[in-house]
Structure 1
Amino acid sequence: MRTYEKFDLNGLHGIIRHVSNKFIVCCHGLFSNKNSKKYIEIEEMALEKGISCIRFDFRGCGESKGEFAESTLTNRIKDLDIVIKYISRKFNARYALFGSSFGGMVSIAYGKQGKTRAMAIMSTPYKIDTMLNKNFTEDLEKYDILKMAESCSHVLVIHGINDELVPCEHALKIYEKIKPPKKILFVDNDHSFSDAKERKRALEEVVKWFEKWL
């Protein structure tokens, strides 16, 4: 039986579409939110395959409380941990992480703990040169994403060949560091995956990957 739940966890707002204890946990990008087309679309695809989906807004984004200035990698890892602990308690969840852009960095940083069964990252950089604010930059300097990727496995890396923000080199370097099993896929799309046809193809690959490992 499918169920629909809106939740508020310490100010983090999100939506759970539940159909089984297999979960895709969506991690949006730096300036995005849970209602990005890719997350709504993968939610429907996942449900058709008997996989539950949770999408939420990190603090300071979308409907969640907090200031956007708090959007450090450390804080987003903490937010993700709150959400995962919730579905683990309530549903005994087996989960996979699906992160886009900065959400992919969050996924790698969290996934290095080895608790996630699989991961898919899109448009993900291994470093960010943009100066959001001093706190963001100083926090990010504490993390070595490529080093963390060495502790991750069961990862699908997807990147648009027309990505105007993150060069394909980032995907290749991350993929090189990840432990097998792993897969990399380049598609004809931009950073936001705005081309609907190619986005659908990429998301279908994500669901197939998670079907295999969840």
Structure 2
Amino acid sequence: MRSEMPYANISGTAVAIPVTGGSLAALVRLPTQLPAPTVICCHGLLSSKDSSKFAAIVEDLCQAGFATVRFDFSGCGESRSASEASLLGTRLRDLLRVMAFVQEQDWNNGQLGLMGCSLGGYLALLGAADSSSVGVKALVCWATPFDLAGIRTALESGNLPHAMATASRQLGEPQDLAGLPPLSRVLVVHGQQDATVGWRAAIEIYRRMADPKELLLFEEADHRFVDPACRNMAIQASTDWFRKHLAGSP
């Protein structure tokens, strides 16, 4: 069923996307001209849809003519829903549901892109590769890990209480991207001062992608791209990537 919502809203429209045992809190931001290609934004492990980074990204994408959807994964922000057996299983379920929601809306022109940061980038790659998902035309991942060894350790030790999506504290599979198929139209962005996810993870991901692809490393950027200059350049590069590979895709 298509949801009814206003077609123009400067700050975004709050929607609840039904999912097993509850709903996912989301913000939909629409450009002036509709229908439009849509970018779904996926936050990291301990973040939410309301981060200043995503607010800036959404603003730039909207100005470029893209619709955007940013949402809280289960266990984060304002989302309240039942969990699957594992963290990855729950969050991938969430993302696939949001992707399906977007394709049901008449403000979407059928062209779908994914944008993810950290674990959100990891999930965006998994979502794009999922054979049951709708087609993803372009993807951008920032500060994305190639493997989840650090998250697994923290999860199993109980050091991430408010990020738990499952009482069993199971991470789920896959715990690395070695088996990821060669996706195309992927931009990989990473900061070389990232102390959370080493920048060489970006190289491992990039090598497994198919053309067209691009690797963009920022010498001064950390995991969160706190430096304003680095963040602005990364946002511009991301918007340009979607403009080239999503807005212009067949």
Whether 2:179 is the aligned partner of 1:164: answer no
Per the normalisation by structure 2, the TM-score is 0.79
- What's the CA shift string for 1:136-173, capped at 9, x where partnerless? 55513x4541321x331100000001000111111001
Whether 2:116 is the aligned partner of 1:99: answer yes
1:146 partner letter: A
1:2 is matched with: 8
2:140 is matched with: 120
2:53 to 38, 45, 50: 38
Which blocks of at least 5 consecutive residues in structure 2 are unaligned?
A: 1-6, 157-167
- What's the CA shift string for 1:79-136, capped at 9, x where partnerless? 0111111111113441110000000110111111471000000000011222233445
1:190 is matched with: 222
Which blocks of at least 5 consecutive residues in structure 1 are unaligned?
A: none
> C-alpha separation between the residues in 2 aligned to 1:195 and 1:132?
27
CA RMSD of aligned residues (A): 2.0
1:123 partner letter: A
Whether 2:140 is the aligned partner of 1:132: answer no
> C-alpha separation between the residues in 2 aligned to 1:67 and 1:84?
19
Q: Provide the secondary structure at the position in 1 that maps to 2:47.
A: coil
Alpha-carbon spacing, 1:136–1:108, altered in 2? closer, same or farther (3 Å): farther
Greater C-alpha Rg: 2
Contact preservation (8 Å) 1:59, 1:71: no
1:199 is matched with: 231
1:126 partner letter: F
> C-alpha separation between the residues in 2 aligned to 1:35 and 1:78?
21
1:151 to 179, 182, 190: 182
Q: Provide the secondary structure at the position in 1 that maps to 2:104.
A: helix
2:59 partner letter: E
> Which of the two has greater helix per residue?
1
Q: Provide the secondary structure at the position in 1 that maps to 2:206.
A: helix
Per the normalisation by structure 1, the TM-score is 0.91
> C-alpha separation between the residues in 1 aligned to 2:102 and 2:84?
27
> C-alpha separation between the residues in 2 aligned to 1:26 and 1:159?
17
